[in-house]
């Protein structure tokens, strides 16, 4: 029997937010089932998502290189940080660094040893190391850590002037975001800045299994409850980028006093 093409509106409905019939009715239900099993055995969202990311990072850089378009986006990210004060002596944390596309440009720009990357996926970190080595960047020029939670215990001896988390909170539930923000406060140097993006919606949403959306007011309240100064960055093209950029600062008493003296 010949396949009968379905009308476009029906196809769109069947694909749903996944934009794929196979993903919506095959892959996605299996992922929800797997996640349910993780929860039943006492494991966390991070445990599940770590395993998911590692599964996508099995190939080497040589056999499956990242697209040049994906890598080129890092130039704009680094320029954005420079515009906000990043300089070669700055101490920088790349939170959720993935395959180190930003590190590929940031590490040569920064003084040796001032770049630190964290990620939950050992596979993605290994792909990142391969990418850096191919570019001639030596292992002792930077520091990487695989993490299993949001405690930041791996960098307990560090403080940072800049923290960057592009497309990380987009895949984190509220409880993990709150935990990370609490853990970050002692890791931010006086006057330090934390730049992160999140996906905006009118109400809290979770699409597919991994994409979390938050209202701006909800994200603001979450951050301010942890003692941060919250600022949506209007110099970030949220419409073109597809996400909202936020700057957080955790001001010490001295910073507040000097800020008041200048005003």
Distance between CA 141 and CA 130 in Å, rounded? 14
Strand, helix or coil for residue 99: coil
Q: Please state which of the ranges 53-62, 218-227, 239-248 shows the lowest mean pLDDT.
A: 53-62
Assigned domain for 209 exists: yes
- pLDDT attached to residue 258: 39
User: pLDDT tens across 71-118, in order?
Assistant: 999 999 999 999 999 999 999 999 999 999 999 999 999 999 999 999
| Of the listed ranges 21-25, 53-57, 88-92, 251-255, the one predicted with least confidence | 251-255
Residue 10 neighbours by CB under 8 Å, 6+ apart: none
Given a cut of 80, whether residue 14 has pLDDT beyond it is no
Instruction: Kindly state whether residue 211 falls inside one of the protein's structural domains.
Output: yes
Average pLDDT over the chain, rounded to whole? 90
pLDDT at 142 over 80: yes
Burial of 104 (0-12, 13-18, 19+ CB in 10 A): buried
Whether residue 129 is found in the same domain as residue 216: yes
Residue 109 to residue 87: CA distance in whole angstroms? 8
User: Has residue 134 got a pLDDT over 90?
Assistant: yes
Whether residue 139 lies inside any domain: the answer is yes
Are residues 168 and 38 part of one domain?
Answer: no
Torsion sign over Cα 237, 118, 125, 96? negative
**Distance from chain centroid for Cα 141:** 22
Same structural domain for residues 158 and 43?
no
Contacts of residue 102, defined as CB under 8 A and 6 or more positions apart, other chains included, come to 74, 77, 78, 94, 164, 166
Residue 2 lies inside a defined structural domain of this protein: no
Q: Do 142 and 116 contact (CB within 8 A), yes or no?
A: yes
Angstrom distances, CA of residue 178 to CA of 56, 117, 220, 221: 27, 20, 12, 11
Angle, vertex CA 221, rays to CA 121 and CA 227, nearest 5? 80
* Average pLDDT estimate for 167-184: 98
164 and 139 Cβ atoms separated by less than 8 Å: no
pTM of the predicted protein model = 0.89
Q: Is residue 3 part of a domain?
A: no
Q: Which domain covers residue 218, as residue numbers?
A: 68-262
Question: Nearest Cα to 215, choosing from 198, 229, 231, 195?
Answer: 198
Helix, strand, coil percentages, rounded to 5, for the chain? 50, 20, 35
pLDDT of residue 250: 84
Is 1 among the domain residues?
no
Please give the Cα distance from 83 to 87 (Å, whole number).
9
Residue 132 forms part of a structural domain: yes
């Amino acid at each position: 029997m010949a396949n009968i093409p379905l009308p476009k509106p029906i196809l769109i409905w069947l694909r749903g937010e996944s934009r794929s019939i196979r993903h919506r009715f095959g892959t996605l239900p299996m992922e929800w089932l797997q996640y349910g099993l993780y929860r039943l055995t006492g494991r966390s969202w991070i445990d599940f998502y770590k395993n998911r990311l590692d599964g996508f990072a099995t190939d080497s850089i040589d056999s499956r290189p990242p697209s040049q378009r994906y890598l080129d986006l890092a130039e704009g990210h680094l320029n954005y940080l420079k515009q906000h004060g990043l300089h070669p002596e700055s101490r920088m944390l790349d939170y959720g660094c993935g395959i180190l596309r930003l590190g590929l440009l940031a590490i040569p720009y920064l003084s040796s040893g001032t770049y630190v990357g964290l990620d939950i996926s050992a596979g993605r970190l290994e792909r990142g190391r391969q990418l850096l080595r191919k570019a001639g960047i030596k292992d002792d020029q930077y520091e990487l850590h695989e993490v299993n939670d949001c405690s930041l215990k791996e960098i307990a001896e560090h403080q940072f002037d800049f923290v960057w988390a592009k497309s990380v909170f987009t895949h984190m539930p509220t409880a993990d975001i709150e935990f990370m923000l609490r853990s970050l406060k002692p890791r931010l140097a006086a006057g330090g800045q934390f730049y992160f993006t999140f996906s905006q919606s009118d109400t809290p949403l979770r699409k597919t299994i991994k994409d979390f959306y938050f209202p701006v007011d909800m994200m603001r309240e979450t951050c301010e409850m942890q003692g941060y100064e919250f600022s949506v960055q209007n110099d970030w093209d949220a419409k073109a980028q597809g996400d909202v950029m936020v700057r957080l600062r955790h001001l010490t008493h001295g910073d507040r006093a000097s800020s008041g003296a200048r005003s």
